[in-house]
């Protein structure tokens, strides 16, 4: 089955894609992100603040920057370019950088690391979903 016409509005285009049976509803995905983004913002602010005041190592800024940067990049690639392969690469980088940040944070703040764990788990789910979309719509 060919991919839907890219000129369609995003929601129509997305609805026409072949999706795995376990794909969450769009509203559920939005709800999850609306909870995770504020948590990510709090953890990011803590990492930035503590790193700049030298309480935590500045090396934490690398996985944080990669996590935030790749997360920001995903939507334009997936929804703007509608490029499945590149979106798959980006979302896997989001997951890996978030996992790295979570592990790197653990010795400095178990609370911050723990707060980040749902984000890491969700990006793992998003990675598998994106891999599935890429495969099913090849």
Question: Is the residue at 3 inside a domain?
Answer: no
Q: Which residues constitute the domain of residue 121?
A: 25-136
Question: Is the residue at 40 inside a domain?
Answer: yes
Query: Do residues 129 and 23 touch, judged by C-beta distance below 8 A?
Result: yes
At 10 the pLDDT is 84
Determine the Cα–Cα distance for residues 8 and 41; give it in Å rounded to an integer. Answer: 33
Determine the Cα–Cα distance for residues 70 and 123; give it in Å rounded to an integer. Answer: 11
How would you classify residue 54: left for phi > 0, otherwise alpha for psi between -120 and 50, otherwise beta? left
Determine the Cα–Cα distance for residues 80 and 50; give it in Å rounded to an integer. Answer: 35
Question: Is the residue at 126 inside a domain?
Answer: yes
Q: pTM of this prediction?
A: 0.92
Based on the number of CB atoms within 10 Å of its own CB, is 81 exposed (0-12), middle (13-18) or buried (19 or more)?
exposed
Determine the Cα–Cα distance for residues 97 and 75; give it in Å rounded to an integer. Answer: 17
Question: Is the residue at 5 inside a domain?
Answer: no
Question: Is the residue at 118 inside a domain?
Answer: yes
pLDDT in tens, 120-133: 999 999 999 999 99
Q: Mapping DSSP to helix (H, G, I), strand (E, B) and coil, where does residue 9 land?
A: coil
Question: Is the residue at 104 inside a domain?
Answer: yes
Give backbone dihedrals phi and psi of 41, rounded to 5 degrees, phi first.
-65, -40
pLDDT in tens, 107-124: 999 999 999 999 999 999
pLDDT of 49 above 90: yes
pLDDT in tens, 24-48: 998 999 999 999 999 999 999 999 9
Write out the two tokens for 61. 């800024």
Question: Is the residue at 13 inside a domain?
Answer: no
Question: Is the residue at 14 inside a domain?
Answer: no
Total domains in the chain come to: 1
Query: Do residues 103 and 63 touch, judged by C-beta distance below 8 A?
Result: no
At 137 the pLDDT is 92
């Amino acid at each position: 089955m060919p991919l839907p016409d890219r000129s369609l509005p995003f929601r129509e285009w997305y609805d026409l894609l072949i999706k795995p049976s376990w794909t969450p509803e769009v509203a559920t995905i939005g709800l999850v992100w609306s909870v995770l983004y504020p948590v990510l913002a709090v953890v990011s602010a803590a990492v930035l603040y503590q790193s700049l005041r030298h309480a935590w190592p500045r090396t934490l800024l690398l996985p944080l920057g990669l996590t935030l940067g790749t997360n920001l990049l995903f939507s334009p690639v997936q929804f703007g370019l509608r490029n499945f392969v590149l979106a798959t690469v980006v979302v896997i980088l989001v997951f890996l950088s978030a996992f790295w940040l979570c592990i790197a944070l653990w010795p400095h703040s178990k609370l911050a690391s723990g707060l980040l764990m749902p984000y890491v788990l969700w990006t793992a789910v998003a990675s598998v979903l994106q891999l599935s979309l890429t495969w099913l719509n090849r």
